[in-house]
Every structure is written in C-alpha cells, then in structure tokens.
Amino acid sequence: MKLAIFNGSPRNKKSNSGLLIKQFLTGYNRVSSDESVSVHYIADRKQKEGLKDIFQKAETVIIIFPLYTDCMPGIVKEFFESIVNLNFTHTKKIGFIVQSGFPEAIHSIYIERYLKKLTKRLKCEYLGTIIKGGVEGIQTMPAWMTKRIFSRFQELGQHFAKNNSFSSKIQEELRKPYKMSLMKRFVFNIINKTGLTNFYWNRNLKKNGAFENRFDKPFKEEINNTQHFV
C-alpha cells in the first residue's frame, strides 16, 4: 500500500490536524514497516504543483482538514478542484478525517456527504470519514486531557496499517457526541453563565491584551453609494 496523507489545515505544519496525524502514524508505524508513507501540506504553496502528482500516484490517500463554516477550508476546495479531472490507472482508496473545535459531530456530517460524493466523482473507493470534534486547543492541553484522543488516533493508525481501512468501531466512538444530550446541554448552560466555557478564548484574549475589546464591531458603518468593484 502506497499511502499518502494530505494535511489540509491552513495552519500548515503547526496544526491540530498535524498533531492528530502524528498520533495516527505512531500507531501505524507500530505494525507497519512501510517506509513510503508520506505527509504533504496543502497550505504549503511551494508544494502546490507537486501535490497533484503525488495524489495521482498514491494507492491510498488520507485527507485531513479542520472544519471551516461546516465545510472544507477554501484551500482544500482549491486542491479538490485541481484533482477532480484526474484519471487513474488503478482503483485508488480515499479516506478523510474532519476535525473541528465544536464538541458535536453534527457540524461535520454535511461535509461528509460531499466527501463521499467527491470520491465517487473521482471514481475512487471511499474508505469513510473520521469525524472528531473538540479538537481546538489540543496543542496546549495538558497530557492527561489529550491522552484519550491521542490513543484513539494511534489505534486508528494501527488498524489502518493492518487493514488498509478505518476501524468502524473507532470511527463511531470518535464522532460521539453527535449532539449534546439534554443533561449536557443543561450543564453547559449553567457553566456558560460562569464564563468557564469561554476559558480558552478569554485566556488568549487576555494574553494578547485584547480582552477589553472582545466585543468590538469595527465594520459597523453605513454605506450609501452604489459601487462596483473589479
């Protein structure tokens, strides 16, 4: 299996997607001696021209990206546009990993349908889409908070190395919760009132001296003239 992984995070190498792939490959390398696995960065514009060729030649492809507006980031869409008319001499297998900062999977299920259809359009075999929420902040979380998610991604990689497919059991587990339960929503609303749910944002706002300006509305003004822009 010649596996190529495409990281579609606009953050390039310093991304949550990159961290998840690192875990995936830790598990993968535990059981596979395949040294041809390569990771490529869609946001690395120097690699742009070569990506299409790498995609064309790979036997199995995994594409990971963060959810942007319940969809793929624009830069990933550009990549899809570049490969959609390629023809393949063999049946390529494609799997996707969509990660987001939202705790629930529901935000990501719409793009999952698109990815399945895209794979069909490419005449490739669809390996499924891994959906994982609650990923934002994993780069700064203490180890005890990331232990579970990292070990799941390692298991996912291990299974992939053995079977050339995603484990449906881990896939199912990772996408929980689909939506927050009534109880969780109740608790969320109470915690939200204390401001604790915004801890991550407030910490960063304060660190940057921007906390007092957090509700700024810089673009609220009247536009009266009809204008045309190129």
Give the residues lining the site for other proteins (CB under 8 A): 9-12, 15, 43, 66, 68-75, 77-78, 80-81, 84, 102-104, 106-107, 110-111, 113-114, 117-118, 121, 179-180, 185, 188-189, 192, 197-198, 201, 204-205, 207-208, 210, 213-230
Burial readout 178-195 (b: 16 or more C-beta within 10 A, e: otherwise):
eeeeeeeeeeeeeeeeee
CB nearer to other proteins: pick between 101 and 164? 101
Q: At what angle do helices 48-57 and 74-83 cross, to 10 degrees?
A: 50
Q: Measured in whole angstroms, how far is the alpha carbon of residue 171 from the centre of its chain?
A: 14
Instruction: Indicate the residue among 93 and 107 with the shorter CB distance to other proteins.
Output: 107
Contacts of residue 63, defined as CB under 8 A and 6 or more positions apart, other chains included, come to 5, 6, 8, 76, 94, 95, 96, 97
Write down the least CB distance from residue 120 to other proteins, Å. Answer: 9
| Interatomic CA distance for residues 124 and 28, integer angstroms | 23
Q: What's the min distance (Å) between Cβ of 86 and other proteins?
A: 11
Rank residues 16 and 154 by Cβ distance to other proteins and give the closer one.
Answer: 16
**In what order do the strands lie in the sheet containing 38-41?**
38-41, 3-7, 60-66, 93-99, 125-132
Q: Distance (Å, rounded) from C-alpha 4 to C-alpha 40?
A: 8
Residue 23, classed as helix, strand or coil, is helix
Structural contact between residues 163 and 131, judged by C-beta atoms closer than 8 angstroms: no
| Cβ 220 to other proteins shortest distance, Å | 6
- Provide, rounded to whole angstroms, the least separation between the CB of residue 34 and other proteins: 30
> Whose Cβ is closer to other proteins: residue 3's or residue 111's?
111
Residue 107 beta carbon to other proteins: minimum distance, rounded to whole angstroms: 7
Residue 53 or 78 with smaller CB distance to other proteins? 78
Question: What is the distance, to the nearest Å, from the Cα of residue 165 to the centroid of all Cα atoms in its chain?
Answer: 18
CB of 49 to other proteins, least distance (A): 16
Nearer to other proteins, 35 or 222 (CB): 222
